Amino acid sequence: MRRPSPPGPAPAAGSGKRAHARIRLGFITPNFREHPSAKLHWRHLALRDRARFEVFGYSLHRGEGPLRQHIVEACDVFRELSGLDSGEIAAHIARDGIDILIDLAGHLEHSRPEVLALRPAPLRVSYQGLPATMGAELIDYRITDAFTTQPEETPFWSEKLAFLPGTLFIYNDHETISENVPSRSACGLPDNGFVFCSFNANYKIEPDVFEVWMRLLARVPGSVLWLMEGGEAVRRNLQREAATRGIAPERLVFAPRLPHAEHLARHACADLFLDTFYCGAHTTAADSLWAGLPVLTCPGETMAARISAGIVRATGLPELVAADREAYEELAFRLATQPGELAALRAKLARNRTNCTLFDTMRRVRELDRACEMMWQRHLAGLPPESFTVAPEAGIDS
């Protein structure tokens, strides 16, 4: 194994040794490929204000396909660096004169946090990716919001926190929904029964929330729970656990993987999305709301357990954020048995879709731009990183 070769030192604060007028943003991730996070990122990379910023993309994992091409086209400069060691990657970034290096992965698979440890840019920032602190002095700032990461938690982060107004989450407002909506029977669902849905990754289904879901199936005759397919072992284990709680195994229905536009279209066959507790839906929640499916969530204490509630609030549906698990179960039961109340929520979501905070991608990008400028101005003034809040736009109530 080769020892990583360190890059040249990043310019000192306030040194002024920059040959470029615009702030250079470098985005580094292994997921600039056919990956859920790439669906979110290509749009906001394309929308960054080119009068103020240059956008560099650094890929840590090879990939092909339309999403990859969108990312390449959204960047002013795109580099595939997956074949290099960490020192060589850091040297590329340093030579590019990046001012703010934004890590979009954290400790996720194929990430390279050691690149950040080599400090190839004056400022290192974490955004989206792993919903937690890096737990080491690799990163100067974490971009978040004051609901997802409550300000009193600041001392427990190794990063300083940049609080966006509204929500930290950014969605792709160009996401396509197929016009070919399948029938319920084509999805293996009952024509008339209530369809609870949770398209979260299977690893997020923990015993506590599964107990609640099984009680709901017991209380709502004819209802089913629609889950994502995760292999035969997942199906067998979950159906066995359902049976031990008196629920017929066939009331758990598993959805096969589909192209994303088709997956969004089939949300129309569900009645209510049920979030998980300890690690909630993130992109999955935003996708469901974009497709018109109400999401019921119950925020926990950690970032991973609060992002989905922030997403739901940002669509103007705070009534779907339960105060505790008992309230979560009772609201799910009420919505399953009071069709008028659920219909009103669906209508409200449809109205909000065109003007809510979550799906106003351009507004989210402007907030991110302001956050980056605030970080950079502090750096130019020779000041160390410090937590700060980005004010909402004039006339906007976040």
Provide the 3-class DSSP secondary structure of residue 85: coil
Torsion of CA 250, 252, 258, 263, to 10 degrees: 130
What secondary structure does DSSP assign to 118-173, as a single string? T--SSEEEE-SSSSS--SSTT-SEEEEETTTS-GGGGGG-SSEEEEESS-S----T
Q: Do 274 and 377 fall within a single domain? A: no
Q: Do 166 and 191 fall within a single domain? A: no
**58 beta partners:** 28, 79
Domain span at residue 38 reads 23-173+361-389
User: Which tokens belong to 104?
Assistant: 């979009």
Q: Do 27 and 166 fall within a single domain? A: yes
- Distances from the Cα of 325 to the Cα of 125, 189, 279, 335, angstroms: 34, 27, 14, 15
Q: Is residue 5 part of a domain?
A: no
The residue type of 318 is P
Q: Do 144 and 67 fall within a single domain? A: yes
Contact residues for 259 (Cβ-Cβ < 8 A; gap 6+): 178
Q: Is residue 178 part of a domain?
A: no
What is the pTM (predicted TM-score) of this model? 0.91
Q: Is residue 180 part of a domain?
A: no
Q: What is the pLDDT of residue 396?
A: 54
Q: Do 101 and 48 fall within a single domain? A: yes
Q: Do 109 and 166 fall within a single domain? A: yes
H/E run at residue 103: strand 100-103
Q: Do 196 and 301 fall within a single domain? A: yes
Return the CATH number at 28: 3.40.50.11380
Q: Do 247 and 128 fall within a single domain? A: no
Q: Is residue 246 part of a domain?
A: yes
- Distances from the Cα of 226 to the Cα of 185, 202, 260, 269, 395, angstroms: 13, 12, 17, 10, 41
Q: Is residue 9 part of a domain?
A: no
Structural domain tally of the chain?
Answer: 2
CA–CA separation, 394 and 244 (whole Å):
55
Q: Is residue 160 part of a domain?
A: yes
The residue type of 12 is A
Q: What is the 3-state secondary structure (H, E, C) of 342-362?
A: HHHHHHHHHHHCCCCCCCCHH
Q: What is the pLDDT of residue 62?
A: 87
Q: Do 342 and 378 fall within a single domain? A: no
CA–CA separation, 118 and 122 (whole Å):
11
pLDDT in tens, the chain (398 residues): 334 444 444 444 334 466 789 999 999 999 888 777 778 888 889 899 999 999 999 999 888 888 888 899 999 999 999 989 999 999 999 999 999 999 999 888 878 899 999 999 999 999 988 899 999 889 999 999 999 998 888 899 999 999 999 899 999 998 999 999 999 999 999 999 999 999 999 999 999 999 999 999 999 999 999 999 999 999 999 999 999 999 999 999 999 999 999 999 999 999 999 999 999 999 999 999 999 999 999 999 999 999 999 999 999 999 999 999 999 999 999 999 999 999 999 999 999 998 999 999 999 999 999 999 999 999 999 999 999 999 998 755 55
Do residues 256 and 229 lie in contact, with contact meaning Cβ atoms separated by under 8 Å?
yes
What's the length of the chain? 398
DSSP state of 6: P
Q: Do 247 and 162 fall within a single domain? A: no
Q: Do 291 and 311 fall within a single domain? A: yes
Q: Is residue 398 part of a domain?
A: no
Return the CATH number at 251: 3.40.50.2000
**83 beta partners:** none
Q: Do 127 and 196 fall within a single domain? A: no
Q: Is residue 209 part of a domain?
A: yes
